[in-house]
Chains A and B, each alone.
Chain A
Amino acid sequence: MQRPLLEVKSLKKYFPIKSGILGRKVGHVKAVDDVSFTVNKGEILGIVGESGCGKSTTGKSILRLIEPTEGEITFNGQDITKLNTEELRKLRRDMQIIFQDPYASLNPRHTVEKIIGEPLLVHGMTSKVERSSRVKELLEVVGLSSYHASRYPHQFSGGQRQRIGIARALANNPQLIICDEPVSALDVSVQSQILNLMEKLRDEYHLTYLFIAHDLSVVKHISDRVGVMYLGRMVELTTKDKLYEEPKHPYTQALLSAVPDPDPDIKKERIILKGDVPSPENPPTGCAFHTRCPHAMDICKQKRPEFQAVENYHFVACHLYQDGVQ
């Protein structure tokens, strides 16, 4: 088997909570708490979870847009947490990001030409003519027209802006693109267009996506494998079909039961979770989910379940499936 393109090992990001005039640290928000996974070349790995569960922080930590507190991130065999600023800057050509909000992620004072052309410039394409023709080519690739290049972001709709964001990410032919909820800010009708475009681009340019979303049906549509996060931890990770057919973790089961079915006659059993998501500042001991889990046992309060394979390619962090208990 070939080596994975991206390997994340026990990634942690703790944000300090400061208080008082002296800025004393009084605690941590454990936004990402020991998350490990791999992304293979050419696949689309979806990451789902409620808002605040640390999906976006995970994505941005992988690019070191947020400095991770701990952990190893191996990209193409290179541990990028050890790179210095200049090495990291060069590497950014190979790993890109598409942001959630197309209204906030484009500089309002730059033309589309400058927005898409700037990453080319900073990675060594100094000829203006060359850049301009590449920008026009990219605009066509993402379904806009070359004459859009001279316009400003405020002249475009949300979907069109997201296309510009995609073109910018594609500019330097990256290998990996982290998609941080790229369609959640868009109209439902536009979402599918952008998703189809992204799939098409993946096939054409042999891209690899880490696709972060909170919409289960979006992730189902586009992903090959899916990881589920809860309170800064990865609770389940497996292929799309397995996850949607036979979810193992009680949280995944509850999450999937909440997806509405288009057929009104189908009777579904909804698992309603009690209470709220606990604060990541002070997560429950043991398994973070035990406070709301319908199957909680004594051991869940004491010991944090390991994230391990229970079947081929099916990873779960739950005591129900740990050795001996089952």
Chain B
Amino acid sequence: MGTSKIKKHAEQQANPMNLEEIELEEQEAISPWKDTFKRLRKNRFAIIGFTIILFFILLGLLAPVLSSYTYEEQNLANRLHPPSEEYWLGADHIGRDIFTRIAYGARVSLQVGFFAVTGALVFGTLLGILAGYFGRWIDMLISRIFDILLAFPSILLAIAIVAILGPSLENALIAIAIVNIPIFGRLVRSKVISLREEEYIMAAKAQGMKSGRILFHHILPNSIAPIIVQATLSFGTAILEAAALGFLGLGVQPPTPEWGQMLADSRDFIQLAPWTLFAPGISIMLVVLGFNLIGDGLRDALDPKMKH
């Protein structure tokens, strides 16, 4: 104690202008988002993830250009044709080009992922904010609904919802969104509860701000980081769930190509023509991997304190 005081005194003597008052230079404003982006760019795995996803997005978008077939064009003479110059990834059991179907299937999968995650994110976040900020019986009600939803195995719940609504792409999408709502809801709720006690939230209240402003200008921007990470990770699971529903014939209806459904169709030919399984299987794996890599990268970039 004593020595540190003396030291401080000496420092002040040597430095009559106080340290605090010395302006180092006109630094630029460093926004937390810019900072995150910078860190993300340095993360090699995240870049790999982005590349994979970008690849599939382009594949989906450019499907008509890349392939001379259509996804429903059958050529029974070439059933189960192995990969060749003509059929890049082979042909399936009724002679459709697998590469074309994978490319068109990318559209479906990414669409399902995007809309299901967006739906789950919007509703989950709103419910989570209400539960976390207002607490009491509102929290009780919303949290118990989440508990009920989480008590079902997610795929079983999705099957039940699709069974009620009828099998189609839209209904599969709705089912997957509903299954994912409590995941976002609980995450946001816990974040809001911890943020509610922050001093700057009390400061906002002391300034005379209304609840709506405090929620959407102060609490939400500070809880967005874990939401983004969860959204990227959920993108992967949503695609997996869509594939599972497709595999069971509850998703997209034929002839629209869907990876899960393609797997189901080729299951009987696993020994005869394994390539019919490889292409959709590897595609699903790669897309999910890509989103998980991005999610992990984002988590590190958004919260540098967590690392190490």
The reply to whether A151 and B207 form a contact with Cβ atoms under 8 Å apart is no
B213 to chain A, nearest CB (A): 7
The reply to whether A107 and B208 form a contact with Cβ atoms under 8 Å apart is no
The CA of A12 and the CA of B12, in the complex, are separated in Å by 45
Return chain A residues, CB-CB under 8 Å to B208. 89-93, 119, 122-123
Return chain B residues, CB-CB under 8 Å to A154. 30, 32
The reply to whether B202 and A65 form a contact with Cβ atoms under 8 Å apart is yes
A263 to chain B, nearest CB (A): 15
Return chain A residues, CB-CB under 8 Å to B271. none
The reply to whether A157 and B207 form a contact with Cβ atoms under 8 Å apart is no
Closest to A153 in B: B200
> Which parts of A176-214 form the interface with B (CB within 8 Å)?
188-190, 193
Partner pick for A65 among B12, B30, B206, B209, CB 8 A cutoff: B206
Return chain B residues, CB-CB under 8 Å to A155. 27, 29-30
Interface membership of chain A positions 119-138, coded 1 if the CB is closer than 8 angstroms to chain B and 0 otherwise: 10011000000000000000
**Number of A interface residues in the complex (CB < 8 A):** 39
The reply to whether B12 and A105 form a contact with Cβ atoms under 8 Å apart is no
Given A109-B32, A155-B30, A189-B18, residue A168 in contact with residue B202 (CB < 8 A): no
Return chain A residues, CB-CB under 8 Å to B20. 157, 159-160, 189-190, 193
Partner pick for B203 among A89, A99, A108, A150, CB 8 A cutoff: A99
Partner pick for A109 among B27, B30, B199, B222, CB 8 A cutoff: B222
A43 at interface (Cβ–Cβ under 8 A)? no
A79 to chain B, nearest CB (A): 19
> Which parts of B191-220 form the interface with A (CB within 8 Å)?
198-200, 202-210, 213, 217-218
The CA of A150 and the CA of B27, in the complex, are separated in Å by 10
The reply to whether A108 and B32 form a contact with Cβ atoms under 8 Å apart is yes
The reply to whether B8 and A188 form a contact with Cβ atoms under 8 Å apart is yes
The CA of A107 and the CA of B223, in the complex, are separated in Å by 12
The reply to whether B203 and A105 form a contact with Cβ atoms under 8 Å apart is yes
User: DSSP class of B's interface residues: helix, strand, loop or mixed?
Assistant: helix
Return chain B residues, CB-CB under 8 Å to A93. 208
Given A90-B208, A122-B208, A122-B209, residue A106 in contact with residue B202 (CB < 8 A): no
B164 to chain A, nearest CB (A): 36
Interface membership of chain B positions 127-143, coded 1 if the CB is closer than 8 angstroms to chain A and 0 otherwise: 00000000000000000
**Number of B interface residues in the complex (CB < 8 A):** 30
B68 at interface (Cβ–Cβ under 8 A)? no
The reply to whether B29 and A65 form a contact with Cβ atoms under 8 Å apart is no
A124 to chain B, nearest CB (A): 10
Closest to B27 in A: A155
The reply to whether B32 and A107 form a contact with Cβ atoms under 8 Å apart is no
- Residue with the highest number of chain A CB atoms closer than 10 Å, among B19, B208, B218: B208
The reply to whether A119 and B207 form a contact with Cβ atoms under 8 Å apart is yes
A152 at interface (Cβ–Cβ under 8 A)? yes
Return chain B residues, CB-CB under 8 Å to A90. 208
The reply to whether B213 and A122 form a contact with Cβ atoms under 8 Å apart is yes
The CA of A46 and the CA of B300, in the complex, are separated in Å by 45
B2 to chain A, nearest CB (A): 11
Given A151-B29, A152-B30, residue A108 in contact with residue B207 (CB < 8 A): no
The CA of A235 and the CA of B207, in the complex, are separated in Å by 31
Return chain B residues, CB-CB under 8 Å to A104. 198-200
The CA of A104 and the CA of B26, in the complex, are separated in Å by 25
Partner pick for A189 among B8, B31, B213, CB 8 A cutoff: B8
Return chain A residues, CB-CB under 8 Å to B26. 147
Question: What 5 A-B pairs come out closest when comparing CB atoms?
Answer: A92-B208, A119-B207, A104-B199, A150-B29, A105-B199
Residues of A in contact with B (beta carbons under 8 Å apart):
60, 63, 65, 89-93, 96-97, 99, 101, 104-109, 111, 118-119, 122-123, 145, 147, 150-152, 154-155, 157, 159-160, 165, 168, 188-190, 193
Residues of B in contact with A (beta carbons under 8 Å apart):
8, 12, 18-21, 23, 26-27, 29-32, 198-200, 202-210, 213, 217-218, 221-222
